Structure 1
Amino acid sequence: MTTLAAGQDRMIGSLRAVLVIAARDLQRQVRRPGLLVSNAAQVLFFVVIYAVGFDTMVGTVDGVPFSAYVLPGIISIQVATVGITTGLSYAWDREYGVLREMLVAPVPRMCLPAGKVVGTTAIVSVQSLVLLVCAPVFGLRPPVGTIALAASVYVLGAVVFSLLGLFLATVLRRVQTLQASVQLAMFPMLFLSGSVFRPGGVPGWLGALIHVNPLTYLVDLARQVLIGPAAAVAPIGLDLVVLAGLVCAFAGCIRAKIGR
């Protein structure tokens, strides 16, 4: 009985630590409005250039207005960008000693990355819901149930790319190296995901790159949920398996790197 009580206390303490770390990251986001504005400006850039600027030129894709076709991809880009920057936040905490203070707390070490994932997921959930509610502006009118399902997809995406960012931060110890590596990886990943074009019409070598890109499966899953399977890259089941597999792989690597 004592062992069971001790296990429960440890679980409660771990959960409390995760929530404290998540709340700290959320407070930091609120206190840095410039970062929120820059994220909103990035989304606005993609909306204006792709959803509006190319809409009249491209017309429709598989019978869907181009602006509606690219909306799931634009939201996915935002999810991936916010998620991967979680690793940079982790690296700065490690650089300036905050991480060391957290690691001496009597809780499992995995609570720190878990808390950061929870905080990022909360931010992404709000941002994606705002964009999904604005979907009629882009010619897409999903029912409430579809909006909720799509938001769940983006939550899964936030977990995947937060863990990817944290994995990179545990492998690359220097903040400057991490920043350069993230910038180097982001643009190919964003533009080779089929987020703003139809993946089925590309050459074979480019299609191979698209299929090894983790963001491709988030874009494809969200697009199938919001629009339908007409322009699918893979079956919904495969998208889910790949994303869930990435969660397990990145979480396992992080745990192996930082310990329990």
Structure 2
Amino acid sequence: MSTLFHNAPASRPATLGRRILNQGRYETATMLRNGEQLVLMVVMPLLGLFALVATPLLDGMGHSRIALATPGILALCALSTSFTGQGIATGFDRRYGVLRYLSTTPLGRGGLIAGKGLAVLSALGLQLALISVVALFLGWRPPVAGVLLAIPLLILGAAAFTAIGLLIAGTVRPEATLAITNLGWILFAAVGGIVLPAGKFSDTLAGVVQWLPSGALGNVMRAALLESTLDVAGLIVLLAWTAVATVAAVKWFKWN
């Protein structure tokens, strides 16, 4: 009997990569089970797409309604998942002590943040697949080169908004996080340049919008998917927002 136990293989702890993958799966499942987040992630972007195609808001800009609407709606998906969804979830995890507990496990703080990032990418991938299928059915025909260019730009946009969402969730109370992220979603979507091009606003507002992460993401997505070109100015703005928000979140994030 002693020989049997002696020869039994010792259990090994999961690797950090496996822990991050498991945490990412848990975070993704939690997001997809939340009815309110599903409304923001799926229902609102789809309604926005149908509204832009059915109304003359985008007429007179040199492209079809569906061609102009889809890049902005895809950018809106990144905003919904990474900023609003992840911000609210992290804020309430912090309130109930989940963040503090998980940060002391072998997963660690870095692994926890990586898991959240993986969840954002997983949920965003599902959103993009759904929105793209619906847009294709409505007549969207993007250039292949533009699609290949848009994918990393959208991931960068998701990183920027995730960093901003985590900064808010880690510095204010959960109720304030809920209010700020929901209000931010409305403002970014309506007048932030993410859905409607800056050309639809007054000169003053358009000048402000181009410096916002929402306006920059909308601009780079439209440039990629309409013209297969890189909006360098928008890329620089997105990189700056990502860097600043990440540094600020690392410095001021409170785990309890």
**Class of the TM-score when normalised by the shorter of the 2 chains:** 0.7 to 0.9
SS in 1 for 2:222: helix
1:13 Cα offset (Å) = 4.9
Alpha-carbon spacing, 1:190–1:201, altered in 2? closer, same or farther (3 Å): closer
What letter matches 1:241 in structure 2? I
Whether the aligned pair in 1 keeps the contact of 2:46 and 2:131 (CA below 8 Å) is no
Residue by residue over 1:127-147, the C-alpha shift from the partner in whole angstroms, topping out at 9 and shown as x without a partner, is: 113323443334331244533
Q: CA RMSD in A?
A: 2.7
Aligned to 2:141: 141
Whether the aligned pair in 2 keeps the contact of 1:59 and 1:65 (CA below 8 Å) is yes
Aligned to 1:171: 171
Identical aligned residues as a percent? 23
Report the Cα distance in structure 2 between the residues aligned to 1:18 and 1:163, rounded to whole angstroms. 18
Alpha-carbon spacing, 1:48–1:108, altered in 2? closer, same or farther (3 Å): same
What letter matches 2:224 in structure 1? V
Aligned to 2:210: 211
The structure with more radius of gyration = 2
Report the Cα distance in structure 2 between the residues aligned to 1:187 and 1:36, rounded to whole angstroms. 16
Whether the aligned pair in 2 keeps the contact of 1:110 and 1:259 (CA below 8 Å) is no
Report the Cα distance in structure 2 between the residues aligned to 1:201 and 1:52, rounded to whole angstroms. 17
Aligned to 1:29: 31
Aligned to 2:66: 67
Aligned to 1:89: 89
Whether the aligned pair in 2 keeps the contact of 1:163 and 1:250 (CA below 8 Å) is yes
SS in 2 for 1:227: helix
Aligned to 2:4: none
Q: Does 1:150 align with 2:150?
A: yes
1:192 Cα offset (Å) = 2.3
Equivalent positions of 1:1-12 (< 5 A) are none
1:196 Cα offset (Å) = 4.1
1:98 Cα offset (Å) = 1.7
* Unmatched segments (≥5 aa) in structure 2: 1-13
Report the Cα distance in structure 2 between the residues aligned to 1:135 and 1:16, rounded to whole angstroms. 35
Alpha-carbon spacing, 1:193–1:228, altered in 2? closer, same or farther (3 Å): farther
Equivalent positions of 1:38-77 (< 5 A) are 39-54=41-56, 59-62=59-62, 64-77=63-76
Residue by residue over 1:4-38, the C-alpha shift from the partner in whole angstroms, topping out at 9 and shown as x without a partner, is: xxxxxxxx954444323211101223444664355
Residue by residue over 1:185-222, the C-alpha shift from the partner in whole angstroms, topping out at 9 and shown as x without a partner, is: 22222222334434235333212321232111111111
SS in 2 for 1:142: coil
Residue by residue over 1:32-61, the C-alpha shift from the partner in whole angstroms, topping out at 9 and shown as x without a partner, is: 466435532212221222222337xx5441
TM-score (norm 2): 0.82
The match for 1:244 among 236, 239, 242 is 239
Report the Cα distance in structure 1 between the residues aligned to 2:86 and 2:36, rounded to whole angstroms. 16
Whether the aligned pair in 1 keeps the contact of 2:188 and 2:194 (CA below 8 Å) is no
Aligned to 1:20: 22
Report the Cα distance in structure 1 between the residues aligned to 2:195 and 2:241, rounded to whole angstroms. 23
What letter matches 2:117 in structure 1? V
SS in 1 for 2:152: helix
Alpha-carbon spacing, 1:252–1:246, altered in 2? closer, same or farther (3 Å): same
Give the paired residue count: 241
Whether the aligned pair in 2 keeps the contact of 1:75 and 1:128 (CA below 8 Å) is yes
Report the Cα distance in structure 2 between the residues aligned to 1:34 and 1:193, rounded to whole angstroms. 22
* Unmatched segments (≥5 aa) in structure 1: 1-11
User: Relative to structure 2, which stretch is displaced further, 99-108 or 174-183?
Assistant: 99-108
Report the Cα distance in structure 2 between the residues aligned to 1:145 and 1:211, rounded to whole angstroms. 24
TM-score (norm 1): 0.80
